[in-house]
Amino acid sequence: MSRLRIYALFGDDGRYAGRVSSDEKHEMHFSSYSFDNLVERAGTDSIRVRRSRIDRVLDEMEEFDAVFSDSPDLMLLHYVRRKRKMRPMPWLVNEVDRFKTAGLVRRFVEDHYGEDPLAGVLQAGEVLWFTIVSGLDGYYRKMGIPAENIFYLPMARSSIGFFLPELIGTQDRDTTESPVSRIDCPISPGAILAIGSHERDYACLAEALSGTEKTAEIVCNLSLYRDRPAGPLIWHDSMPAEEYLEGIRRASMVILPLRPVDRALGQMSCALPMRLGKAIIATQMPSLSAHLQNGESGLTYPAGDAEALRVCILRLAADGEERSRLGAAAAHRERELSEMAEEAIDKILERLTGLKA
């Protein structure tokens, strides 16, 4: 059987644009475009579309068996395809913020064309949805998505491997080969490491470290943090997968200082160090509640609370046994989540393949 070829509007600031990542069942072909490339923000609650880019994406889609995107991309492109009477396209959708961003598209279509595109995507039989946050599938069913078309897909080895097979392949090699790494990496052995680019509160981390004589190293897309907070922070730009994973492996602990936004975030940055058995400190967020239980599989602190974050950092810095205990529990929990995700992925691939046929 030939691999299912999926056109991925992945975004992530173009890091994966033009790349192909594959395993034995499917290929992910990463587009150069995502929602932020297809529209122009006109204030905080409206958009203008970039028609030439939309045309280019629609043309590129025709070469593939299915599409993967977030819900705003779906609502925009699905509506245009339907109006142009193009063939129904099997589509896998990551819904991350209860249609908040997709609502921008909905308002644009209502204002300009007098139609509501939401019902068209909710009821479309070729569209499959997933949420990475536990307990939200009921919310989306109430919105009108058929129960058989919504999946809970926590980010863990299996699900990350579905979207980025080569990243997990690299981590698999790192965890099975010699514990003495030969990979060059700028992260110091035993570092306090903070990771992630989107909606990170690195100012809170800087405040937490102030006066502790501790320093944290940060790996993120530096173009998103041109105004960087002062403090005991060492900044590193995004790295190739091998270096990034080696940096996590070298760290004594991993910190995810998240902003309290109403969207799912931080799961991939959490799952990768969990799998490597790292002690993790993270902001209390609904999107991480299935991954980290405070004091059991990690430490959590209230958003923006620098003092609480400081207490967590000093607690782990002073207690190697505690780091080991939390890291082992995190690795165990990641395996559980990966098993859940694997079951969902098998069903999703079966459905997408059937829709392609």
The 10s digit of each residue's pLDDT in 187-231 is 999 999 999 998 999 999 999 999 999 999 999 999 999 999 989
- Residues 168-186: what's their mean pLDDT? 66
How does residue 351 score in pLDDT terms, banded at 50, 70 and 90? very high
Domains in the chain, CATH or no CATH each: 4-152 (no CATH), 178-337 (3.40.50.2000)
% of the chain surpassing 90 pLDDT: 76
**Residue 172 Cα to chain centre, angstroms:** 19
Alpha helices in the chain (DSSP H): 35-38, 51-61, 71-83, 102-113, 118-122, 137-143, 157-163, 165-176, 202-209, 241-250, 267-275, 306-317, 320-356
- Residues 306-317: what's their mean pLDDT? 98
pLDDT tens-digit profile of 120-159?
A: 899 899 999 999 998 888 889 999 999 999 999 999 999 9
DSSP line for 42-54: -SSS-EEE-HHHH
How does residue 287 score in pLDDT terms, banded at 50, 70 and 90? very high
3-state secondary structure at position 282: strand
